[in-house]
């Protein structure tokens, strides 16, 4: 094991002890260290980091910038004890540092098409896993990573309660489940246990080999399912992503509140708590305006002005 790989382990342990998840960053940095080892590089340099970041020649420049950004905090950490370490400067690659994707808001038929596409997967367990996972994300708005990390004790089918432990910002929360969701989870558990009666992990969702699902593999499979379901790009910045199931849940919830005539401003903290946000300000990122939602909000505003 190289010195950089040892240092990466120490770096990730330190950051994670402070509450950072670093799931994607950890994967990227492991790949970066492998790249450095193949180049026989004893220290991180700007040239090395730039070569690694731009190695996927056909990737979007935004992905290059994201890769390079992942190396900076690691390089700052290394600079304290590895001579010759260079921290790649910000702005080294042209373009904005970040660009927010336009949420792809799923319709009920679109979600149904995804689940139907998952049902067509040839392997029964894998088909059941992705049908159930997509359905759960759609009806709860939880993060994909939270669903992957669920253990069996976290899914209380008798009480109809889901426990999400120490997710983003170290917060935990419980979500009550509808009876139909409980039934779907129970059906999946039956299929799962028939295929893997003695799994090597406590994970609720299992891979074909009986291990916990891998985040990167889930995203890859989901992308393939969107293609099979016929969900096309609405613009270069608006493509169907698994995270947009969370956006869709938030917008649908807000829309329902408007339709019911409730006090949306007073209920917004409830949505924030459900989604696991630190405060309602974070929830506004998810409340993308749709024509129907904007029309209801405008009607509500007009009514309040007339009554004032």
**What 3 state SS string does 173-220 have?**
EEEECCHHHHHHHHHHHHHHHHHCCCCCCCECCECCCCCECCHHHHHH
Which sign, positive or negative, has the C-alpha torsion 260, 266, 272, 273? negative
d(CA 157, CA 159): 6
Q: Active site includes 67?
A: no
Q: Choosing from 224, 239, 243, 258, which is the catalytic residue?
A: 243
Please identify which of the residues 67, 149, 246, 247 carries the catalytic annotation: 246
Task: Indicate if 171 belongs to the active site.
Answer: no
In the chain, beta strands by DSSP E: 155-156, 161-164, 173-176
SS3 of 133, please? helix
Closest CA to 135 of 217, 245, 227: 245
Q: Which of 168, 173, 224, 241 is catalytic?
A: 168
Q: Which of 65, 143, 192, 212 is catalytic?
A: 143
Dist. CA 221–CA 225, nearest whole Å: 6
243: annotated active-site residue: yes
178 is catalytic: no
Is 143 annotated as catalytic? yes
| Residues labelled as active-site residues | 143, 168, 243, 246, 277, 286
């Amino acid at each position: 094991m190289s010195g950089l790989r040892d240092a990466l382990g120490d770096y990730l342990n330190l950051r994670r002890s402070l509450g950072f998840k670093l799931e994607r960053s950890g994967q990227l940095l492991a790949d970066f260290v492998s790249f450095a080892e193949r180049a026989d590089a004893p220290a991180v340099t700007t040239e090395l980091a730039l070569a690694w970041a731009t190695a996927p020649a056909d990737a979007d420049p935004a992905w290059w910038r994201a890769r390079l950004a992942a190396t900076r905090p690691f390089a700052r950490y290394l600079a304290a004890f590895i001579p010759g370490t260079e921290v790649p400067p910000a702005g080294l690659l042209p373009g904005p540092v970040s660009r927010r994707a336009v949420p792809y808001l799923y319709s009920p038929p679109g979600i149904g098409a995804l689940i139907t596409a998952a049902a067509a997967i040839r392997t029964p367990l894998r088909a059941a896993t992705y049908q159930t996972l997509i359905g759960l994300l759609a009806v709860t708005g939880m993060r994909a990573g939270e669903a992957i990390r669920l253990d069996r004790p976290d899914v209380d089918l008798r009480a109809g309660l889901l426990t999400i432990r120490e997710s983003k910002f170290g917060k935990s929360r419980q979500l009550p489940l509808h009876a139909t969701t409980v039934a779907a989870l129970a059906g999946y558990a039956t299929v799962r246990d028939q295929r893997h009666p003695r799994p090597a992990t406590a994970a609720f969702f299992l891979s074909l080999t009986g291990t916990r699902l891998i985040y990167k593999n889930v995203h890859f499979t989901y992308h393939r399912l969107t293609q099979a379901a016929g969900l096309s790009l609405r613009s270069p910045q608006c493509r169907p992503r698994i995270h947009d199931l969370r956006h869709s849940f938030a917008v649908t919830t807000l829309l329902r509140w408007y339709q019911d005539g409730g006090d949306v401003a007073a209920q917004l903290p409830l949505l924030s708590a459900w989604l696991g946000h630190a405060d309602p300000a974070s929830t506004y990122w998810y409340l993308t305006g749709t024509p129907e939602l904007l029309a209801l909000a405008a009607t509500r505003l007009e009514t309040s002005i007339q009554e004032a």
